[in-house]
A and B are shown apart, each in its own frame.
Chain A
Amino acid sequence: MTDDQILAEVRALIIEIIGGEYALGLDIGMDTAFETDLELESIEFVTLATRLGERYGERVDFVGFLAAKDLDEIIGLTVGEVVRHVSSCRTPEGALDG
């Protein structure tokens, strides 16, 4: 699964969570920040992480991902960082390819 495909799924989930009317006109890409660009509520981010865990399975270790970050880093997360995390967890062999 490519990063573009994961991005498309993450984008669809975000739109579902924040509601289509708010998402109108939002261009959600890899550089989009959850806090400053999407104004995602903290509780909505929890929902997003849960839904992604359900979608991609236990190998997408959000506990480990978030445990390593401080509060400012979590608040400053971009869509791309989450997409790349999902991608790296799903294709461990990718790490060998560089």
Chain B
Amino acid sequence: MAEVIARGVRFHVQRLAARHRPHLLAQPVVFIHGLGMDNLSSFYYTLANPVAHAGATVILYDLRGHGLSERPRTGYRVSDSVADLAAVLDASAVDGPVHLVGNSYGGTVALSFALTHPQRVASLVLIEAHIPVPGWAEQMAATITGIGADLTEGELGRWMARSRKHANLAALGKDLIHHTTFVPDLRATDPVDDGELQQITQPVHAVYGERSDVIAHAWLLQSVLPRVRLTVLPDVDHSVLTAATPVLRTVVLDWFAAQAMTVPAGLR
């Protein structure tokens, strides 16, 4: 297992070498997973290997408190996630720009990273990204608190206790929700406004499910971002990554092929 120490925390990082020469992309593609019981495997199973196979160096990592990364008691603000990503890239000897692919909260991190470190971002793929609009933080904190209660004493917990696999995930989720600053840190997220989003000048491909509970965030991105392409997948909810994997693969691989076309051949 590959590990790096970043900001004093041990992170689980997987690096997949680019196949096919010449490489499709000069810059690595970094995948950022979602919150709670998610980890890097959701991208490993779906998009990461196809992207590496197409010719890009791929970096996947588990967010702090998730997967096989360390679970410190504090440091779960979006600004921490952004600083963690910068430090993980530093520790992985990646100092040039990267393409970011974020799912759900991973999209939140990707957007915030692009605002904080614009020179380190070549492009963004935002899958079902949560945008921290006013009120979002409180709503997310309430949702996560509800999941925590359901895991501890509700039907979800009873269902997950039936198998080793789900019991492990549930135990991790409960510890994160009940024994770290995860929820209050989420609640303390500063909202972003349209003016900030307009500063993101990198090309963005936003992908949402038509029946997503955050579909309003798709329309917001489309109206505000200077360079955005929006794909809305019919009959899909927030689970785009797993429910619509084949079409999402095509969307993402086409996107990176198009990004490659914008880079002078000598730099690929």
Contact = CB atoms under 8 A, between A and B. Distances in A.
B19 A42 contact: no
A75 B148 CA distance: 27
B49 A71 contact: no
A13 to B, nearest CB: 12
Interface residues of A, number: 23
Contacts of B14: 46, 50
A94 interface: no
Interface stretch (B124-132, B163-171, B186-194): B163-171
Given A63-B49, A63-B52, A71-B45, A39 B40 contact: no
Contacts of A66: 44-45, 49
A42 B41 contact: yes
Contact of A71 (B67, B169, B245): B245
B16 interface: yes
Contacts of B163: 39
A64 B45 contact: no
Given A50-B14, A63-B19, A67-B50, A39 B165 contact: yes
- Give the dominant DSSP class at A's interface: helix
Contacts of A71: 45-46, 242, 245
Interface residues of B, number: 28
Given A63-B19, A71-B242, A41 B53 contact: no
Contacts of B17: 58, 63
Nearest to A68: B53
A70 B41 CA distance: 14
A63 B168 contact: no
Given A39-B164, A39-B165, A45 B49 contact: no
A72 to B, nearest CB: 9
B267 interface: no
B42 interface: yes
A70 B246 contact: yes
Contacts of B169: 41
25 contacts: A18-B164, A39-B164, A41-B165, A41-B168, A42-B42, A43-B39, A43-B41, A43-B67, A46-B14, A47-B1, A47-B68, A50-B2, A50-B14, A63-B16, A63-B19, A63-B52, A64-B19, A64-B53, A66-B44, A66-B49, A67-B49, A67-B50, A70-B246, A71-B45, A71-B46
Interface of B: 1-2, 14, 16-17, 19, 39-42, 44-46, 49-50, 52-53, 62, 67-68, 163-165, 168-169, 242, 245-246
Interface of A: 18, 22, 39-43, 45-47, 50-51, 58, 61-64, 66-67, 70-71, 74-75
Given A43-B41, A43-B67, 4 more contacts: A39-B163, A42-B39, A46-B40, A71-B46
